[in-house]
Amino acid sequence: MELTGAEITVRCLQEEGVEYVFGYPGGAVLFIYDELFKQEQVKHILVRHEQAAVHAADGYARSTDKVGVALVTSGPGLTNAVTGIATAYMDSIPLVVISGQVPTGFIGEDAFQEVDAVGITRPCVKHNFLVKDAKDIALTLKKAFYLARTGRPGPVLVDIPKDVSNQKAAYEYPASVSIRSYNPATRGDPALIKQTVQLLLAARHPVVYSGGGVVLSDAAKQLTELVRLLDFPVTSTLMGLGGYPSPDKNFLGMLGMHGTLEANMAMQHCDVLLAIGARFDDRVIGNVAHFAEVPRKIIHIDIDPASISKRVKVDVPLVGDVRHVLDDMLVLLRASKQKPDAAALGDWWRQIDEWRARKSLTYRNSTEVIKPQYVIEQLYEVTHGDAFITSDVGQHQMWAAQYYKFNQPRRWINSGGLGTMGFGLPAAMGVQLAHPGAAVACITGEGSIQMNIQELSTCKQFHLPLKIVLLNNGYLGMVRQWQEFFHGNRYSESYMDALPDFVRLAEAYGHVGVRIDKPADVAAGLREAFARKDELVFLDIHTDPTENVFPMVPGGKGLSEIIMAEDL
């Protein structure tokens, strides 16, 4: 059976069970768009900017464990998408991004809307392809989906020239694919797993350090059983929140630059550290030399061997899928007659409780001005901790991570590695489409929301009843905080003058806009917003412009060099 390249592309998406394609049309992809028009199985979501297309596909992927798909045209369509691709790459999110390209005969001639898509995206994709013949499209797309979802997940770009999408070729979608140079490990080394179990059972001051890999590998159940079986303390990175239930007594909270005192101190002073699907990045452990001052045995489980001993030398390098490795560890732990030293573990918990007693997340609430932390606490109460929460990047992101107690994986959707402002709203669109009946809230700031605010139009077209919680402090809050702490209160370009009337702006897009200025109105405003189940509600909540995020480990400092609100 001969089909055009465009027909083959759409057939491949159908074969992969793709539900939504997020995209924006242009000349180089019109043949593909024409084929999308002729069928109903794959639904297209028309965004208002290509960056938003990739972020929406990203949000869809993070909340479902499916591969997100975006479709953009050549030239500026592709370059607009790069930020979204890099965001997914940094956080290991499985995406397939299909880009149009100028006809093959024009490649390299600076043709209209030509860019080197493969060259531009090479540093921020797991892999990319330029398809030069329609007969190669099916195998290429099969490889793309396979690469995106297996091993350490990530975005894969498939660049299809316009003439290739109109060229005819025989169609057959491969049942499976094998790539000789790509064979990611899934099972851990049994000898190393046995060594890990021995170290854990001998530990006196252990800590389990969980990251985004726990969520991506769907290993929350295994992590929870491991922690409760051993009665060990567990902490989480920003990306790992929800991998272990936050309200649980063994959870120390998030660690790192804005982590809790107890999480950071336990991480710094433990004698055995079990790192699961995390990468010891700079925002988590701070200064590497300072971290290394305390001797400890480090076990690191990760699907990506390149991530192990990349920043911190480890003692037990366990390469494999987190879920499978934890399953194998649990078999040994359940069968073992040895138990952790109860007395030593009791002393360790007493030390942790002393750190906990300092209540590092305490803040001074007010009846006069709205504290952003209070808004997040009320959001948690109103949603019963059961909402999908997306965020942009800045102070509001940290407050959401600190004060919303995530009880399940894949409910916390944010840009961790790249720190992309403008991520929250389009990501929430992808989440809402994936979970039509769920409560979805986007926590944002007045700087971030304006970066992709045009997607309010997309929300109107596709009837997406998001709840936008804008913590409006009039500043680029995290920039202002750093300028206050480290730049002598010189607020260079961090104050946002001439802000729009967000209520009227939301109404102009056909949504409900609400302004909240008083603390007494916060809870009722949130309840009313979530009661409007079929409408997008934009809550413009004016918060204290002077509030800072605490605790804080300054850049370049160690985990124990933490600044508390009470220290200032």
Looking at the annotation, which residues are catalytic?
A: 50, 112-113, 162, 478
Do 552 and 561 touch, CB atoms closer than 8 A?
no
Q: Where are the alpha helices (DSSP H) in 404-471?
A: 424-434, 455-461
Radius of gyration of the chain (CA): 24
Distance CA 524, CA 539 (A): 12
- Cβ-count burial 226-256 (b if 16+ within 10 Å, e if not): bbeebebbbbbbbbbbbbbbbeeebbbbbbb
Contacts of residue 542, Cβ cutoff 8 Å, sequence gap at least 6: 370, 472, 473, 515, 516, 517
Question: Can you name the residues that pair with 48 across neighbouring β-strands?
Answer: none
Q: Where are the alpha helices (DSSP H) in 476-536?
A: 477-486, 502-508, 522-531
- What secondary structure does DSSP assign to 344-409, as a single string? HHHHHHHHHHHHHHT-TT-----SSSB-HHHHHHHHHHHHTT-SEEEE-SSHHHHHHHHHS---ST
Distance CA 296, CA 559 (A): 15
Q: In terms of Cα–Cα distance, which of 311, 241, 235, 245 is closest to 273?
A: 235
Sign of the CA dihedral running 258, 260, 262, 267: negative
Q: In terms of Cα–Cα distance, which of 505, 442, 503, 448 is closest to 475?
A: 448
Do 530 and 512 touch, CB atoms closer than 8 A?
no
* Residue 233, preceding peptide bond in cis (omega within 30° of 0): no
